[in-house]
Amino acid sequence: MKVAAQGARRSAQLLVTLYSFRGASLIYLPFAFDSRLGLSAFTVLYGLGWIATLPVTLRPAEKRFGADRAEIAFGWITAVYQIGGALTIFVAGIMRIELGTYLEVFMLAGFLCFLASMLVMLIHREGRQIHSLPS
């Protein structure tokens, strides 16, 4: 059990790092078009965050919801993630129309990633296992 707790703690630390890299790269993106090197740096930082988040998200879900319910929990996490993504694109379009630029959109997205990384630290605190999930 102690090994599982350490694994979840490492997963939380890795998620904080990955979401922070994602946030930093989104804030950097509007300024990355000055050179090929800048756009390449964005691509690497942002891409690493996308590749590495699945396993480290699934482990804490398994710890919190139990091994037998982790898949359902992760399904709900993915569904909410997709709804949030759709809402984000909608709001970004409105902001682009109103402000005439995407600069503020990328800044806001980056700061929201930093907020998400801080919230991850709260999620992984020791707590009781959740036993009821919608199916």
Q: Which long-range contacts (CB under 8 A, 24 or more apart) does 76-82 make?
A: 76/133, 76/134
Lowest-confidence pick of 2-16, 27-41, 51-65: 2-16
What's the pLDDT tens digit per position in 109-122?
999 999 988 888 87
pLDDT at 12 over 60: yes
C-beta neighbour count of 30 within 10 angstroms: 16
Query: Which of 6-10, 84-88, 90-94, 95-99 is least confident?
Result: 6-10
Q: Which amino acid is at 49?
A: G
Domain spans, the chain: 2-123
Chain segment 39-76, per-residue pLDDT in tens: 888 888 888 777 777 777 777 778 778 888 888 888 89
